Each structure stands twice: as structure tokens, then as C-alpha cells.
Amino acid sequence: MTDEERLELEQLRTENWRQKKMIDVLVNRVEQNNCHPIEPYAAFQHSVILSDQIREKTEALNATLLDLEQLNAQLIQAKQNAEASHQRFMDAIESISDGFALYDQTRRLVHCNYRFRKFWLDANIDLNQQPITLKEIKTLAQQKGLIIRELPLQHPNEGRVFQQNNDRWVQVSERPTADGGLVMLYTDITLLKQAESERHQAEFHRKLKHSYVTLEKRFEQRTVELQTLNTQLSNEINERERIQNRLQEAKREAEQANESKTKFLAAISHDLLQPLNAAQLFIGSLEAKSTEPATQQIVHALSNSVTDVASLITSLVDISKLDAGAITPDKQPFMLGDLLKNLANEFHEQAIASGLQFHYVPTTAKVYSDSLLIARVVRNLVNNAIRYTPNGKVLLGCRRTQSGIRIDVYDTGVGIPNDKQIIIFQEFKRLDARPSFKGTSLGLGLAIVEKIGRVLEHPIALHSLPGKGSRFCITLPYAQHQSQFVPLVTKPTPHPSVFAGKHVLVVDNDEAICRGMQSLLSEWGCQVKTYTSLKYLSPNFRSTQPIDLLIVDYHLDGNEDGLTVAHFLQRQSQKLFPTIVISADRSEKLLTKVRQNHFILLNKPTSPVKLKAVLGHLLAT
């Protein structure tokens, strides 16, 4: 029975009791008639009416009581049914394997089953002590360390999954009720997780086994491939070793051939330059003695021929050394103007004799390079300009650029077509010279220029217009400001008095050269003594014998060389005197050795003009 039914039943009982009281009061008044006198008939009539009303009311009350009794019976039955349903519901909740909890609108726990209570009892949390809220339960779970981790929510309608500290898994699902409450289910999914883990492990093991089998197959295939590759590599290595051995053998043969070529050319050049050197000395002596114009012309022509032959031999030797890599640059800072001035003086008379104007623009530039190799480059370029200029002029000058000093050689000659500008730098390739040029050439001058440029790492450039002229140039790097500059010896024409009465000792294993030196130096006014070896010199030499200058050939007979002779004479005379070493050997090794002894090296063939200039400089200082 509901509260409303109970209230209605109570009101009916109260009304029934009130009606009975009213009837009793009315009956008493009629019987006593002591309050209001009325007529007996009227009283009877009134009592009859009241009796009818009372009967009607009583019948109504009885009917109502009957209805109430029926309703009460129904309510009792309904209550019994509800209690039975509630009991069945509670039994069902208790019988389920999930933890069940019901919370009201304030999220206080209203009811829960044994599974839910046991879940918290395992964590030493008694939910029966006092009413507890959902928030308090969660706080206790965190404090007790009941939950290790929570998995990410996969779907909003799915429950949260927690891992407990006892390695069990729980899925918590929440559902709101119609009155604002909350139903919460705790489902133990440990077996599902274990099954899922086993399934994942089985899948992992299956994939691992498949991968292992696949890798095993690939390993076997790769092993076969590697074995094949190793065999191929081994064969290739063996083949490369054979090729390398052949290459090394070929390199040795090439080096030996190159060395043999160099030695052969050096020997040939030495053997050829010896008589040429003697010839130049005799020609120089003839030029000093002859006074008749016809004789002078013949001697001059003979001198030019000998000079040409010597130049050809020198070019062949230089090409051989450049190809063999036997030339190592000796780079030092020097004043470029001193070098170019000497070369300008050297070529001025040659240009005038060829009917050309020769101009030189002085420079104060300081450069860093090998002065001897630069001199050879400029000498070849100027000589080439004179050779291919029928008329007009040749200009030697410099221009400063960002990358360095550019030495320019201009001419107003025949010019060079574009298709021939590469060819002229090749060996034994040359264009037709001007008709009036009487010299000879093998076409090695510009080839030597190009090779020296590569050795020095200085760029060579050419600009030419056919019929207008050409400009050859080489660019040299600037010298550092703090560098010590090597002064270059200038070659002024010495005064004849410098040579008068000077004692010059000449040692050369070639008697012709000794006679040539004797004749030439005597014409210059020197007192000359010549010897062919130290063996003939030492018995006749006295420590008191005056020596103002020594001229000695480097390559003497036997194991002797010019440096040994020079040191012997200095020890015997107990003084130092200027020494000129003459040799056909143009190697850097010999040049370094001579310089270390503070001697002067002149290469064969030695022109009388150069020899006179060097002697004049040494005797004057």
C-alpha cells in the first residue's frame, strides 16, 4: 500500500467516526429534549430524516470500507509482489559476477552487491561503515594504490579499463538512471585480457616464426649471393693486383725510360754543348780581335748560328725535364722590375737589329715565384714576339690585377687565328715566321712556356687578332709585404779597366774550352791560367799564387767535380774568391748545391756577353 492509499483510508475512517458521533449526539438530544422544545411529530419526522441520512451515510461508508478493504488487499498483494520482485532483483544483482553499485543524485552509495563490496574489501576499504560518495571511493583507490594504470578510452560508450595492483583487470561501466542517479558495473576482464595477451603472443610468435623462416631463407640466399660476390671480389682483387702489378711495372719502365731519356738528353746536350761552348768562346775572341766589317759580319753570322744550335739543344733538355717532372720551382719573393729590366736590355739590341721598336714599361711590383723560370718564360715570349712581327713594335710591361701581377708581351705581328691558338702551345707545332727572320726553331718555345706555367701554377693567356697582333701574358702572385726580397743581379756593361791585370784561373776537362777561355779572357785584359783537372793543377799550384776569380767546369774527369776543385783552392790559398761554376746540367739539385756554396752557376753554352757581364760584376765588387 502506498502512502496516498494509507492517507485516503485514514481520512475515511475519521469521517466515519465523525458521522457516528453526530448521530449519537442527535439521538441523545431527541430523547432528552432538554435543550430545544420541539413538537413530537416534527421531532419524529426529523429523526426519520436523520435516520435515512444516517443509513445512506452508513451504506456509503460500508461501501467505501469494502472498497478500502479490497484496495488494501490489493495493496498488500502489490506490496508482496513488489517485495518479491525486489528480492528477486537483489538476488539477481547478488548472483551476477560483476560488481554492482547504485548512487543517488548526490552520488552517495545507495546499494551495492557483494562483488562490489569484496572488490573494495580486498583493498581494506569497508563501504558499510558510513555513507560514502563516488568521489571519496576514487580518492581512496588512489591512496591505496589499487589502480596501477588506466588504458586509453577506445570509445565513449565503452567502459574504462584499469589494471589493479594484483595484476587483475577491471572494466568500469557507468549508466545514468531516470531520477539522476548512477549505476556502476565493475567487470573482471582478467581472463579476457589474458586470452587477448595469449592471442597477441601467439600472433607475435607466429609472425616471429614467419619472420625467422623468411630471414632464414633470405640469409641462405644472401649467403649464396655473398659467397658468389666474395668469389667475384676475390677474382676482381686478384685481377686488380695483376693490373696494378702491370701498371707498376709499366710505371717503372716509363720512369726508367724517362730517366734514360733525361740522362740521354743530358749526356747528348753535355757532349754537344761542350764544343758549342768552346765555339762561342772562340767566336767571342774573334769578335774582340776583328776590326774589318766583312770579318765582323761573318763572325756575327757564325755567332748567331751557334746560338741557335745551343738554343735548340737547351729547349730539348728543358722539355725533357718538364715532362719528367724533374724541375721543382724555387719560389722566393723578388723585385719583378729587376728581372724585366735585364731581359729588356737583353732583347733591345735584337729587336733593333730586326727592324722593330722595343718598348719596356718599368715596374716596382714585388712578386713571389721562381725568378729563373719566369725569366725563361718571358724570354721565350719576347723572342716569339720578335720572330713573328715583320714590322712595328714589341712591348714588355705589367698590369696590376686583383689576382696578381700580369706580365704582358704585346706585338704588332701577324696575329694568330682562333683555331691555331691551342696548337701553338703543343710541342713541335709552330706557325710560319716572318720572311726576314733568319733564326731556326723547333716549335718548343711556347710549349716550354705552357709547361713552366703549369709547374709554377701561374695561368698563361693569349689574346690575338690576325693581322693586328698578339698579347701573351702570365699572372704572378703578389709577394707578402714582410717578405725578404732577393735582389737580382743586373748586367751593366763592365768597364774594360775592371778586367785589366785580373788573375783568372780556369779548370775545364775540355782543352778546346780552355783554349777558348784563354783567348777570350786575354782579349779582355785578364791574366789567365787554364788546367784540365785537379791532378794537373795541384802540383803546379802555390799558396801564394794570386787568384782574383775561378772559372771551373762542374763535370770533370774521374770522380772530380768543380766544387771539389774550388774548395781545394780556397783551402790552399786560405782565402775566399769569386767562383763561377759552368755546367750543361740544368737541374735544380745542382743549382741548389752551387748556391749553398755561394758560387755563381752559368749554364753551357755560355755566351761571351753573359760571361763578361758576370765577370765584370764579380771583379768589381
Is residue 17's pLDDT more than 60? yes
Looking at residues 28-41, what average pLDDT do you find? Answer: 57
Mean pLDDT of the chain: 78
> Which distant-in-sequence residues (6+ apart) come within 8 Å of 105 by Cβ?
179, 180, 181
Q: Max Cα separation, the chain?
A: 213
Query: What pLDDT was estimated at residue 312?
Result: 61
What is the rounded distance in angstroms from the CA atom of residue 602 to the CA atom of residue 610?
A: 9
Residues 146 and 169: beta-carbon distance below 8 Å: no
Confidence of residue 437 (pLDDT cuts 50, 70, 90): very low
Q: Give me the amino acid identity at 48.
A: V
Question: Which residues sit opposite 485 in a β-bridge?
Answer: none
**DSSP code for 555:** B
What are 123-132's pLDDT values in tens digits? 666 666 555 6
| Residue of 238 and 2 predicted with greater confidence | 238
Query: What pLDDT was estimated at residue 2?
Result: 64
Confidence of residue 579 (pLDDT cuts 50, 70, 90): very high
Is residue 47's pLDDT more than 80? no
Query: What pLDDT was estimated at residue 92?
Result: 80
Which stretch of 10-19, 293-302, 520-529, 605-614 has the lowest confidence by average pLDDT? 293-302
- Which has the closest alpha carbon to 397: 487, 474, 478, 490? 474
Question: pTM (2 decimals)?
Answer: 0.47
Confidence of residue 397 (pLDDT cuts 50, 70, 90): very high
What are 465-505's pLDDT values in tens digits? 888 899 999 999 998 865 555 555 455 556 667 788 889 99
| Residue of 536 and 530 predicted with greater confidence | 530
Most confident of 140-144, 171-175, 281-285, 589-593: 589-593
What is the rounded distance in angstroms from the CA atom of residue 172 to the CA atom of residue 214?
A: 43
- Residue recorded with cell 589494471: 163
Query: What pLDDT was estimated at residue 311?
Result: 62
429 backbone dihedrals φ, ψ, rounded to 5°: -115, 125
Is residue 580's pLDDT more than 90? yes
Q: Would you give the end-to-end CA distance of the chain in angstroms?
A: 151
**DSSP code for 493:** P
- H helix intervals, 33-175: 40-95, 114-121, 134-144
What is the rounded distance in angstroms from the CA atom of residue 286 to the CA atom of residue 31?
A: 204
What are the C-alpha distances in Å from 118 to residues 148, 187, 287, 299, 409? 19, 13, 137, 137, 111
Dig out the grid coordinates for 130 from the structure: 558510513
Query: What pLDDT was estimated at residue 268?
Result: 60
**DSSP code for 424:** G
Residue % of the chain over a pLDDT of 90: 10
| Residue of 276 and 332 predicted with greater confidence | 332
Query: What pLDDT was estimated at residue 123?
Result: 63
Confidence of residue 316 (pLDDT cuts 50, 70, 90): low
Burial of 37 (0-12, 13-18, 19+ CB in 10 A): exposed
Strand order in the sheet with 147-150: 109-112, 99-103, 182-188, 169-176, 160-164, 147-150
Confidence of residue 578 (pLDDT cuts 50, 70, 90): very high
What are 582-596's pLDDT values in tens digits? 987 777 788 889 989
Residue length of the chain:
621
Confidence of residue 405 (pLDDT cuts 50, 70, 90): very high
Is residue 202's pLDDT more than 80? yes
Burial of 163 (0-12, 13-18, 19+ CB in 10 A): middle
Burial of 529 (0-12, 13-18, 19+ CB in 10 A): middle
Query: What pLDDT was estimated at residue 59?
Result: 78
Residues 453 and 377: beta-carbon distance below 8 Å: yes
210 backbone dihedrals φ, ψ, rounded to 5°: -65, -40
Query: What pLDDT was estimated at residue 549?
Result: 92
Query: What pLDDT was estimated at residue 416?
Result: 84
Query: What pLDDT was estimated at residue 41?
Result: 61
Looking at residues 189-203, what average pLDDT do you find? Answer: 85
| Residue of 392 and 51 predicted with greater confidence | 392
Residue % of the chain over a pLDDT of 70: 74
